[in-house]
């Protein structure tokens, strides 16, 4: 009854979705990729997943408890951060590395800036880049990531492509390749991405603009080779990043036009990093850099309020 | 405490150039990759600071007001050149690792700041003590930052292995981002412990104003409370 008589100013939007339900949908969407990663890479992958999520949730609880803030672990955002971070880890990584990353993601990137909704860059990705810089050797070691598949050891497909080698497109799509836990299987990721679009958790604008621009860029500058372009798109973290990380509500533009611009800038940066950067992969750096551009993009694409900005006759 | 010791206390605690005044951050962030670099940078800056303060204070009545900045810079630059040559001659390793930041002491805003704010208005002896205080404060801050960065980023302090062999160094801490993390954490600790700095001083006496739990004198809540 109390809610019925609630008086508030406009806009009077009624919606049943909550932070919790949205986060739950994102978690469900990541389950196919997680299951595939654990099935392919074995128990250490599962351990990494669990440990990272626990580290994120515990550090969020501890920080909020210590700082006398309301405890928000029930909204699931720490779980999502933990899962994304874990899926970005090489499968054979020692468990303490992603746990350090989880604490960094929650405490430094998210909570110090004011908690959910205030962080200026994606916490999971910022933590991944922190770990990449800190523990370069451990984070780039995919050599033993081949449980059960002898043929899989060795360089990641992107490194092979960079070196001018050939990669089998079919195994890229299924995911029989070395890589991080969550990024390998395009099919599993697309199932999750389509689930989120159907459930209206995300709109397809950012992923499509992002992947499309990357494809065009790599097609033009990679020598007009269709097979190469398709391999580049399916390899590495592009699909995972486009659907799960670039679409983070907090760090992506609100406006439709802004989302298009954001997707295109992301695609250009990823293409540039992949073709001419020091490392064969550039998705994480592209996304956190573009996170920083978001306020600018939003300011430039802010729609005019109804009745404002017209010319006098 | 006499007025000379007060200058030194002021430089180390009350108006520490790094943790309280937040000036001279460029060399602070750039060279503190290890504790020994912090010592080298801190001491060379201290020498320049003391000598420049003395000379500028001695010349303060001769220097015309309209050209005081160029005059101060010339004095500072002369001393920096001397220090630069001495370091190249006697401590070549340190000179090598500090690199461009030795000549850049000329534009360190602590030195020009002290010349402008203190040496131009006070006599040479007081200015010398002011330079010593600020220099020691700067050196302590650099050593602290350098030691923490070296400890976390390489497992060592002053080149001595501190961490157990199984410790994996977090190498981001000896790269640029680590300097910001450590500086921020140490400043936060300084604030949290309410050390007797200029920005923390008066807050202890009164209750916290408004919703802010900060310690800044310039806080709007503080001014509002004062107005009441």
Angstrom distance (rounded) from CA B114 to CA A150: 67
CA nearest to A100 within chain B: B170
Predicted pLDDT at A99: 94
Angstrom distance (rounded) from CA B3 to CA B219: 30
Cβ(B153)–Cβ(B176) below 8 Å: no
Angstrom distance (rounded) from CA A153 to CA A164: 18
Taking the Cβ of residue A107 and every Cβ of chain B, the question of whether any pair is shorter than 8 Å is answered with no
Angstrom distance (rounded) from CA A106 to CA A56: 6
Contact between A135 and B171 using a beta-carbon 8 Å cutoff: yes
Distances (CA, A) of B216 to A19, A58, A62, A111, B18: 35, 32, 27, 22, 16
Taking the Cβ of residue B202 and every Cβ of chain A, the question of whether any pair is shorter than 8 Å is answered with no
CA nearest to B154 within chain A: A134
Taking the Cβ of residue A134 and every Cβ of chain B, the question of whether any pair is shorter than 8 Å is answered with yes
Distance of residue A207 Cα from the nearest chain B Cα, in angstroms: 30
Taking the Cβ of residue A249 and every Cβ of chain B, the question of whether any pair is shorter than 8 Å is answered with no
Predicted pLDDT at A222: 83
Contact between B172 and A134 using a beta-carbon 8 Å cutoff: yes
The per-residue pLDDT string of chain A (313 residues; one tens digit each, 9 = 90 and over) reads: 455 666 777 777 777 788 889 999 999 999 999 999 898 888 888 999 999 999 999 999 999 999 888 888 888 899 999 999 999 998 888 999 999 999 999 999 999 888 888 888 899 999 999 999 898 888 887 765 444 454 444 567 787 777 777 777 888 888 788 888 888 889 999 999 999 999 989 999 999 999 999 999 999 998 888 888 888 888 888 999 999 999 988 899 988 899 999 999 999 999 999 888 888 788 999 999 999 999 999 998 888 787 776 666 5
CA nearest to B185 within chain A: A108
Q: CB pairs below 8 Å between A and B: how many? A: 17
Contact between A138 and B168 using a beta-carbon 8 Å cutoff: yes
Angle, helices A19-41/A186-198, rounded to nearest 10 degrees: 170
Which residues of A fall within a CB distance of 8 Å from B181?
108
Predicted pLDDT at A117: 85
Predicted pLDDT at A144: 56
Taking the Cβ of residue A130 and every Cβ of chain B, the question of whether any pair is shorter than 8 Å is answered with yes
Residue A272's nearest CA partner among A217, A212, A215 is A217
Distance of residue A136 Cα from the nearest chain B Cα, in angstroms: 9
* Range 132-171 of B in CB contact (< 8 A) with A: 168, 170-171
Interface with B, mutate which of A134, A137, A140 (most B CBs under 10 A): A134
Contact between A136 and B170 using a beta-carbon 8 Å cutoff: no
Of A100, A108, A134, the CB nearest to B171: A134
Of A100, A108, A133, the CB nearest to B171: A133
CA nearest to B181 within chain A: A108
Contact between B171 and A130 using a beta-carbon 8 Å cutoff: no
Cβ(A92)–Cβ(A44) below 8 Å: yes
Q: What is the pTM of this model?
A: 0.81
Which residues of B fall within a CB distance of 8 Å from A130?
172, 177
Angstrom distance (rounded) from CA B142 to CA B179: 11
Q: Sort B149 into a burial class: Cβ within 10 Å, 0-12 / 13-18 / 19+.
A: buried
Distance of residue A91 Cα from the nearest chain B Cα, in angstroms: 19
Which residues of B fall within a CB distance of 8 Å from A100?
170
Taking the Cβ of residue A133 and every Cβ of chain B, the question of whether any pair is shorter than 8 Å is answered with yes
Domains of chain A and any CATH numbers: 19-300 (1.10.3430)
Distance of residue A97 Cα from the nearest chain B Cα, in angstroms: 10
Segment holding B156, helix H or strand E: strand B156-157
CA nearest to A133 within chain B: B172
Interface with A, mutate which of B170, B175, B187 (most A CBs under 10 A): B170
Angstrom distance (rounded) from CA B92 to CA B90: 6
Distance of residue B170 Cα from the nearest chain A Cα, in angstroms: 5
Predicted pLDDT at B210: 47
The per-residue pLDDT string of chain B (228 residues; one tens digit each, 9 = 90 and over) reads: 788 889 988 888 888 888 888 888 888 898 898 899 899 999 999 999 999 999 999 999 999 999 999 999 999 999 999 999 999 999 998 898 888 889 999 988 899 999 999 999 999 999 999 999 999 999 999 999 999 999 999 888 888 888 888 888 888 998 888 999 999 999 888 888 766 666 665 444 444 444 444 445 555 555 554 444
Which residues of B fall within a CB distance of 8 Å from A138?
168
Predicted pLDDT at A1: 46
Angstrom distance (rounded) from CA B222 to CA B202: 10
Radius of gyration of chain B (CA): 19
Torsion (CA) A284, A260, A175, A26 in degrees, nearest 10: 80
Predicted pLDDT at B228: 45
Angstrom distance (rounded) from CA A78 to CA A123: 10
Predicted pLDDT at A258: 93
Which residues of B fall within a CB distance of 8 Å from A133?
171-172, 175, 177
Which residues of B fall within a CB distance of 8 Å from A108?
181
Of A108, A133, A135, the CB nearest to B168: A135
Cβ neighbours of residue A137 closer than 8 Å, sequence gap 6 or more: none
Residues in chain B: 228
């Amino acid at each position: 009854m109390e809610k019925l008589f609630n008086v508030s100013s406009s806009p009077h939007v009624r919606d049943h979705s909550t932070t919790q339900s949205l986060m739950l949908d994102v978690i469900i969407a990541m389950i196919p990729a997680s299951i595939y990663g654990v099935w392919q890479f074995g128990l250490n992958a599962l351990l990494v997943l669990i440990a990272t999520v626990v580290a994120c949730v515990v550090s969020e609880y501890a920080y909020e408890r210590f700082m006398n803030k309301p405890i928000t672990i029930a909204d699931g955002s720490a779980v999502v951060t933990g899962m994304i971070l874990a899926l970005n880890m090489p499968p054979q990584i020692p468990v303490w590395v992603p746990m350090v990353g989880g604490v960094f993601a929650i405490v430094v990137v998210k909570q110090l800036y004011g908690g959910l909704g205030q962080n200026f860059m994606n916490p999971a990705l910022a933590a991944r880049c922190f770990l990449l810089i800190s523990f370069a050797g451990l984070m780039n070691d995919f050599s033993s990531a081949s449980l059960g598949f002898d043929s899989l050891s060795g360089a990641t497909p992107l490194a092979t492509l960079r070196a001018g080698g050939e990669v089998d497109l079919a195994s890229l799509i299924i995911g029989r390749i070395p890589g991080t836990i969550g990024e390998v299987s395009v099919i599993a990721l697309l199932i999750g991405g389509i689930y989120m679009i159907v459930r209206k958790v995300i709109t397809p604008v950012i992923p499509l603009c992002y992947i499309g621009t990357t494809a065009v860029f790599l097609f033009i500058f990679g020598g007009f080779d269709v097979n190469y372009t398709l391999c580049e798109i399916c390899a590495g973290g592009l699909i995972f990043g486009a659907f799960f990380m670039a679409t983070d509500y907090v760090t992506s533009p609100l406006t439709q036009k802004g989302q298009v611009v954001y997707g295109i800038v992301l695609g250009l940066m990823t293409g540039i990093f992949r073709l001419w950067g020091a490392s064969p992969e550039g998705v994480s750096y592209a996304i956190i850099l573009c996170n920083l551009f978001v306020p600018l993009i939003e300011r430039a694409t802010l729609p005019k309020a109804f009745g404002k900005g017209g010319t006098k006759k | 405490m006499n007025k000379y010791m007060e200058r030194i206390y002021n430089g180390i605690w009350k108006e520490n150039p790094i943790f309280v005044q937040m000036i001279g951050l460029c060399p602070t962030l750039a060279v503190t990759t290890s504790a020994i670099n912090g010592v080298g940078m801190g001491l060379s800056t201290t020498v320049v600071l003391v000598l420049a303060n003395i000379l500028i204070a001695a010349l303060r009545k001769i220097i015309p007001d309209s050209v005081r900045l160029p005059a101060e810079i010339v004095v500072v630059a002369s001393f920096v050149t001397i220090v630069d040559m001495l370091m190249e001659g006697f401590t070549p390793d340190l000179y090598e690792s500090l690199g461009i930041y030795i000549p850049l002491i000329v534009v360190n805003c602590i030195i020009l700041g002290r010349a402008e704010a203190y040496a131009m208005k006070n006599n040479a002896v007081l200015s010398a003590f002011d330079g010593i205080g600020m220099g020691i404060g700067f050196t302590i801050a650099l050593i602290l930052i350098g030691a923490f960065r070296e400890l976390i980023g390489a497992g060592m302090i002053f080149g001595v292995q501190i961490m157990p062999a199984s410790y994996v160094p977090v190498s981001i801490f000896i790269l640029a981002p680590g300097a910001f993390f450590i500086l921020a954490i140490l400043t936060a600790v300084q604030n949290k412990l309410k050390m007797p700095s200029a920005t923390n001083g008066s807050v202890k006496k009164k209750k916290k104003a408004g919703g802010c739990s900060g310690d800044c004198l310039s806080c709007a809540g503080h001014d509002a409370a004062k107005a009441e």
